Amino acid sequence: MGDLTLKYVNLEQKENQRSHHTEDFVSDSLVVRRGQPFKLSLQLGDAAFRPGQHRLIFQILLGRLYVQVPVTYSKPPSQPDWGAYYQQSPSAGGTAGGTMEVTLCTPASAPVGLYKVRLHVLSHLYHRVYIVGEISLLCNPWCQDDAVYLPLDSQKEEYVLNDFGLLYVGTPGNVASRPWSFDQYESEILQVCMGLLEVSPQHQQDWKEDYLNRSDPVYISRVVTAMINSQDDLGVLMGKWSGSYDNGMHPTKWSGSGDILRQWAKSNFRPVKYGQCWVFAAVMCTVMRVLGIPCRVVTNFNSAHDTNANLVIEEYYTIMGEKLPASKDSIWNFHVWVESWMRRVDLGMGFDGWQVLDPTPQERSDGIFRCGPAPVRAVRDKQLSMAYDVPFVFAEMNAEVHTFIVRNGESFLVDTDSDRVGALICTKAIGSSTAKDITATYKAKEEEHELEPFRTSRSRGPSPTPQAMPMSINTGCSQCSFGVSLKFHHVPKVGDDILFTVVVTNQTGEVRRLREHVNAQVKEYSNSPADTFWQDHRVMEVGPHQTLEIPHQIPEHLCAFLTEDNLVNLAVVIEDESSQERVLAYEEFNLISPEIVIEVQNEENVQLHKEHQAQLVFSNPFKMPIAGVLSVAGSSLLESPVQIRILALQPGETMKKSISFTPKRMGLKMLHSSLTLSNMAMVIRGFKTIKVQAHQ
């Protein structure tokens, strides 16, 4: 009689990954989720398997840690743990060459990682070891015993499986959506994300402790948050917010995570240049979704960076309305982080659910540039002693703004505003291209609701309605005797004149002689304004109880350098000549960018593995010819980005370019495009969501 041997192992990759919702991953390993059984087929040879004479033991290794799992004839355990079983004898007649179907079980708290699997075949005469293969084990939002369990299928579809998203930037009054491809199903991405855990300082310093801690999504999220930036380690991205970007990529030109993660891995873990907050957050979202932890990208508009933790942000203006970079604290027009869903066993009842994680390097947490996971519930309820980094996150949306005017070296407080910071917090709505307002989950003011659909396919926000912000220096009068506000008749567009009106109201019964100083400065979303690029001054008289509207126009040629990624800080100071009383009003706004329109032929019947056509349409709105490179990408739609050089598009001329695409995965997908101009610092974007159906 021959010895029992293992002739062949079938990992049943297609069937297993379909049932584990991992069928779209590109990997040589079997990709499964913890807490859910999966099946292997063993082709035995030479001798028949006899339970009384032979033993089969799986050895499952994570690095140098391992667990021994005997194969038994039994039913699955009621509480999933490491286990392996078969339900009937592989060869009832005792003949050689039988096929054994074995079910493997993993705990819902098993560490995430790449496991090697060996099979030990034992009898009283011999002990043989066979290599079975590799298993990538992920968290499991479908398993109720997993700490990342999500109850609704629509949530799992959006926050785990979806491979594209929209990132929101701009200002609260003019929200702009930026398409992003998370790329988790593209080649090499799963391997890179698994490798990121191995490269982390936690793993390098104590590999055993790191492996054991990977059972906890709280621990995993803190490791990933630190590894997305390169401040303390071999992290993925280097941040840069000003200056030249010539030795890297300007952050606005990235449109997906795949290129960033692959570049990082192939460069032997040198940081990719460069990232800003939305890039850090989007790449982290990719890594978390790959690891099976539900994740979404969130934007906080008017986000405070409170360096001294006093919940106060100071801003300073000159008497001419120029904003000064005089404070270490700052307000970013928007800041982007992620939320991940998990149970917080470490915090007790009530703090499960969405947790803030911020990979943008701002402040250290336990000595490392990272932030979170901070429970959103703890932020809303002002539980400032709770781990991790709740006070910093709370300040980002709740700091009070104190505005000063500086005159002759002295600062005069002219306004205190508790509503400006955290004016709007939003994320992509489930299964939609609209933004969902989630401010109430952080600030508990008004009911959560979905924003109105934006006016264009790029999800533009409604026209801003700047609030009148009367502010005055206290000169001994009991109350301000006149007010001032800024009014826009429409949202300014890139390439147009900027038209606005200063509204001055005399609240007294006397004629007032006033001086007006209007100042415009350009700024990036995260920085103080640069020098003044336009100003205007005049003297006027306002009659008793009269309201005077003063129109202003910033000519297009002075705005030619402005793009969607710039913001304008516009301020007006009105000064009473006799009393020296001054009133300040200001508004920060972004410009509407032109867009690329994507039209898909027969879009109601886009089928899997079938070639389809799309047309990209763009009309030049500028008063000059433009040139650049048009790039079209779409995870699961295009094998690689399509690039088309645009040599010269004349003012008013319309460009029409056709491309073909062949979907390789079903479901909702995104085709997105960007036109990077060579004769001005601007990227023009467009996107189209496409529902891919089964081939008929």
Amino acid 225: pLDDT? 97
Rounded to the nearest integer, the mean pLDDT of the chain is 88
DSSP state of 381: T
277 is catalytic: yes
Considering the chain, tell me which residue range(s) the CATH 2.60.40.10 domain(s) occupy.
5-138, 482-590, 597-693
Nearest residue to 578 (alpha-carbon basis) of 506, 518, 519: 506
Q: 583-604 burial string, b = 16+ CB within 10 Å, else e?
A: bbbbbbbbbbbbbbbbebeeee
How many Cα atoms occupy the beta-carbon half-sphere of 131 within 13 Å? 5
Catalytic residue among 143, 277, 426, 559: 277
CA dist 662 and 426 (Å) reads 33
| Residue bearing tokens 């360096």 | 307
CA dist 284 and 359 (Å) reads 7
Pairing between β-strand 512-524 and β-strand 449-450 as defined by DSSP bridges? unpaired
Beta strands in 236-294 (DSSP E): 237-239, 272-275
DSSP state of 240: -
Catalytic residue among 146, 183, 210, 358: 358
* Mean pLDDT calculated for residue range 256-276: 97
The β-bridge partners of 329 are none
Q: Give the C-alpha distances (Å, rounded to integers) separating 252 from 64, 241, 286, 524, 592.
A: 42, 11, 18, 12, 16
Count of C-beta atoms within a 10 Å radius of residue 610: 14
Q: How confident is the model at residue 76 (pLDDT cuts 50, 70, 90)?
A: low
* Mean pLDDT calculated for residue range 594-612: 93
Which has the minimum average pLDDT: 133-142, 529-538, 563-572, 593-602?
563-572
Considering the chain, tell me which residue range(s) the CATH 3.90.260.10 domain(s) occupy.
153-450
**Percent of the chain, pLDDT > 70?**
92
Mind listing the pLDDT tens digit for each residue in 487-540? Answer: 887 778 888 889 999 999 998 889 999 999 999 999 888 877 888 999 999 999
Amino acid 658: pLDDT? 95
* Mean pLDDT calculated for residue range 596-615: 94
Which has the minimum average pLDDT: 238-247, 461-470, 626-635?
461-470
CA 436 to chain centre: 14
CA dist 623 and 492 (Å) reads 16
Q: Can you read off the two tokens belonging to residue 478?
A: 């009991």
118 pLDDT exceeds 70? yes
213 SS3 class: helix
Q: List CB contacts of 641: < 8 A, sequence separation 6 or more.
A: 631, 632, 633
- The CATH classification number of 153-450 equals 3.90.260.10
CA 262 to chain centre: 18
Mind listing the pLDDT tens digit for each residue in 396-416? Answer: 999 899 998 888 888 888 888
Which range of 97-101, 269-273, 315-319, 330-334 scores highest in mean pLDDT? It is 269-273
Q: Give the C-alpha distances (Å, rounded to integers) separating 333 from 170, 369, 676.
A: 7, 22, 24
620 pLDDT exceeds 80? yes
Which has the minimum average pLDDT: 136-140, 443-447, 623-627?
443-447
Sheet of 547-554, strands arranged across: 482-487, 498-506, 547-554
Amino acid 28: pLDDT? 92
CA dist 595 and 683 (Å) reads 10
Amino acid 306: pLDDT? 72
Amino acid 471: pLDDT? 31
Q: Taking a C-beta distance cutoff of 8 angstroms, is the pair 62, 134 a contact?
A: no
Question: For the residues of 470-531, what is the DSSP string, one character each?
Answer: --B--SS-SS-SEEEEEE-SS--BTTS-EEEEEEEEE-SSS-EEEEEEEEEEEEETTS---S
Q: How confident is the model at residue 444 (pLDDT cuts 50, 70, 90)?
A: confident
Q: Taking a C-beta distance cutoff of 8 angstroms, is the pair 665, 24 a contact?
A: yes
Angle at 148 between CA 142 and CA 149, to 5 degrees: 35
358 is catalytic: yes
130 SS3 class: strand
Amino acid 526: pLDDT? 82
Q: Give the C-alpha distances (Å, rounded to integers) separating 243 from 240, 248, 273, 524, 527.
A: 8, 12, 13, 11, 12
Fold annotation for 597-693:
Immunoglobulin-like (2.60.40)
Architecture of domain 482-590: Sandwich (2.60)
24 is catalytic: no
Nearest residue to 110 (alpha-carbon basis) of 224, 190, 212: 212
Which has the minimum average pLDDT: 334-343, 347-356, 484-493, 680-689?
484-493
Catalytic residue among 21, 54, 305, 335: 335
- Name the residue type at position 364: R
467 pLDDT exceeds 60? no
Torsion angle (degrees, nearest 10) of CA 595, 596, 599, 600: -120
**Percent of the chain, pLDDT > 90?**
65
Of residues 377 and 48, more confidently modeled: 377
- Name the residue type at position 474: N
Amino acid 93: pLDDT? 42
* Mean pLDDT calculated for residue range 598-625: 93
CA dist 517 and 537 (Å) reads 5
Sign of CA dihedral 428, 432, 435, 441: negative
**Alpha helix positions (H), 300-438:** 376-380, 390-398
Pairing between β-strand 272-275 and β-strand 237-239 as defined by DSSP bridges? parallel
Q: How confident is the model at residue 466 (pLDDT cuts 50, 70, 90)?
A: very low
Q: How confident is the model at residue 79 (pLDDT cuts 50, 70, 90)?
A: low
CA dist 427 and 527 (Å) reads 23
459 pLDDT exceeds 70? no
- The phi, psi pair for 233, rounded to 5°, reads -160, -165
- The CATH classification number of 5-138 equals 2.60.40.10
Q: List CB contacts of 522: < 8 A, sequence separation 6 or more.
A: 529, 530, 533, 561, 562, 566, 567, 568, 569
* Mean pLDDT calculated for residue range 622-633: 92
Q: How confident is the model at residue 123 (pLDDT cuts 50, 70, 90)?
A: confident
* Mean pLDDT calculated for residue range 421-426: 95
Mind listing the pLDDT tens digit for each residue in 294-304? Answer: 999 999 999 99
CA dist 43 and 162 (Å) reads 37
Q: How confident is the model at residue 52 (pLDDT cuts 50, 70, 90)?
A: confident
Angle at 651 between CA 649 and CA 657, to 5 degrees: 35
24 pLDDT exceeds 80? yes
Amino acid 525: pLDDT? 85
pTM of the full structure: 0.90
How many helices (H) does the chain have, and how many strands (E)? 11, 41
CA dist 425 and 332 (Å) reads 13
